[in-house]
Structure 1
């Protein structure tokens, strides 16, 4: 493939279902521009200490890379440096011109006061285009069990988290709430991003008791193995 536009695409992924979405976006852009594609993941632990679930994701990312003739998978394990530093280093080494990564929406004020990986990358590699893929506002729900997703937030409340629809200073997480249909209670699924990974957690009466990711297909009754 001839790199007509002199572009190189870098997709930064972390463990979770959102990684597939990011890679597909990167593949689409790379194919349009006839550009090489790099898939990068970073982990603070050595590769030998990763659990089975993480290894499964890594194998899937390698398969994506192998299925694209111009793609290459890069893993940086046993890393203690800031993520933005590592991404910038890989970008320079591979002449990257466009980077794709996922991030939940933050207010402009939060970015200014707290900083973010996006701001760090802009400072580190100012001449690289950044594509931010946000949390999807829909779920595959053919049975109509859930209403259309709306913006919501989680507030720490003791050991639990309280669901709210107004942003506050003490907001812990921002995401999308999918309410169960035909109920007056705030029951459903809250989708958000944590450490660059997309999570789905159960909400019961407006309360999240634990930030444990639930299998979205099982929750929606889409798992064919469940009878």
Structure 2
């Protein structure tokens, strides 16, 4: 999915969220960075299933985050992909994203070993495309 941006905008910030209230700080940071850099921002959620309607019904938090992003001047995108880091990296590349904001994983080391990490592979892919990644604690 390719978003349409103003051609003159040089700063494009992508905020990666999960359906948790703690993602509010990421959306706020994205809006702040867009303002600081005179850029635009989008909030992105990756759904691993093909039926997003079920996720939205079960996650009022996602809807609240999307609403918050739009009120702060951002755009919202829901992506579908089995591998989250790959899906995010592809979206960033296709949309000429200059900066990615992502939250530090709260998962245990064992969970990361068993199910994989999102942040480190995303950072690795972003570096290939000269995209800055900010990991928020």
TM-score by length of 1: 0.48
More helix by share: 2
Counterpart-to-counterpart distance in 2, 1:117 and 1:58: 19
Tell me: higher relative CO, structure 1 or 2? Use CA pairs within 8 A at least 6 residues apart.
2
Q: Describe the superposition over 1:153-207 as per-residue Cα deviations: whole angstroms up to 9, x where unpaired.
A: xxxxxxxxxxxxxxxxxxxxxxxxxxxxxxxxxxxxxxxxxxxxxxxxxxxxxxx
Q: Which runs of 4+ in 1 moved over 6 A?
A: 2-5
Q: Secondary structure at the match of 2:135?
A: strand
| Structure 1 segment 35-54 matched on structure 2, within 5 A | 35-45=39-49, 46-50=51-55, 52-54=57-59
Structure 1 or 2, whichever has the larger Rg, is 1
| Structure 2: runs of 5+ lacking an equivalent | 1-5
- Aligned partner of 1:161 in structure 2 is none
Aligned length: 123
| Structure 1 segment 46-125 matched on structure 2, within 5 A | 46-50=51-55, 52-54=57-59, 56-69=60-73, 71-77=74-80, 79-80=81-82, 82-104=83-105, 116-125=117-126
TM-score by length of 2: 0.76
Q: Secondary structure at the match of 1:66?
A: helix
Counterpart-to-counterpart distance in 2, 1:68 and 1:105: 26
